[in-house]
Structure 1
């Protein structure tokens, strides 16, 4: 269960830290990461462990969101979004890499799996996001499904 909390919190905190625009990126990343981590923890926990999972998710989300938010600039966030959407049409297991020319940050998104969603039969793809900041690597995983109009929606 703890592994699920850490993975889910890392994903939401990574994304939350990346979505912070303007102002103090570190504080914004911590606040949004904490909120999203708490939400993820509350969804993962059950019974008497739900409160613990919510608290642990909030703390982990705040820590991860703060660190990542402090280190990603606007170009890094744009590359993460661009590479993620490019992975929906790229060959499986082919990394899409972007190196920030202004710092040592690196964004890598790799499509890892594809298939049809049960119930809707929508075409979906899974992907792995890796962000390297100051030599430290953070990973997250996601899934997106193609909508009837051809657009893509990130579902997890």
Structure 2
């Protein structure tokens, strides 16, 4: 009886492990970030520091300013969110992709291995984009601030 219980426990454990691992497999391609609609704030009062403040600390990101200025507000937010995600959460060499829901605008951000400058964590990164079908690339480095934001180095 004890052997039967032990065998069933092993089978159940193996089945659970197989189901969990099955969720990890994929096409191996880069998966774009998904975002809900971006709208202007309704209130005119200042908002507390949050996601917009953290993204704002990227100072417009590393895409060339002339190319980035042609992005819509929503696409600009998508591109900055991809930069933040790459810097904050993505292992070195892996890509975070973003794509406009309409048109020929998309991009990929790849961050390098983290390193330290004094007490700050920093990373080099590259942002390659297609803006209205035209290729553009930005390269730079950013260091993490105590509040969780990242500041690109000049």
User: TM-score, normalising length from structure 2?
Assistant: 0.52
Q: Which residue of 2 aligns with 1:110?
A: 110
How far apart are the structure 2 equivalents of 1:145 and 1:121? 10
Q: CA deviation at 1:149?
A: 4.2
Instruction: Report the secondary structure of 1:141's partner residue.
Output: strand
Residue of 130, 135, 138 corresponding to 1:137: 135
Q: CA deviation at 1:98?
A: 1.0
Tell me which protein shows more helix as a share of its residues. 1
Q: List structure 1 segments (4+ residues) > 6 angstroms apart after TM superposition.
A: none
How far apart are the structure 2 equivalents of 1:82 and 1:68? 14
User: Deviations along 1:73-104, whole A, 9 cap, x unmatched?
Assistant: 12210111101111112111111111111111
Equivalent residues in 2 for 1:86-101 (5 A)? 86-88=85-87, 89-101=89-101
How far apart are the structure 2 equivalents of 1:151 and 1:105? 25
How far apart are the structure 2 equivalents of 1:136 and 1:95? 20
How far apart are the structure 2 equivalents of 1:96 and 1:144? 16
Q: Which runs of 5+ in 2 are unaligned?
A: 1-60
8 Å contact 2:62–2:127 — kept in the other structure?
A: no
Higher gyration radius (CA): 2
CA RMSD, 1 decimal: 2.2
8 Å contact 1:111–1:128 — kept in the other structure?
A: yes
Instruction: Report the secondary structure of 1:87's partner residue.
Output: helix
Matched positions, count: 93
Instruction: Report the secondary structure of 1:85's partner residue.
Output: helix
Instruction: Report the secondary structure of 2:69's partner residue.
Output: helix
- Alpha-carbon distance change, 12 to 141 in structure 1, aligned in 2, over 3 angstroms: closer
User: TM-score, normalising length from structure 1?
Assistant: 0.52
Equivalent residues in 2 for 1:138-153 (5 A)? 138-153=136-151
How far apart are the structure 1 equivalents of 2:145 and 2:116? 12
Q: Which residue of 1 aligns with 2:82?
A: 83
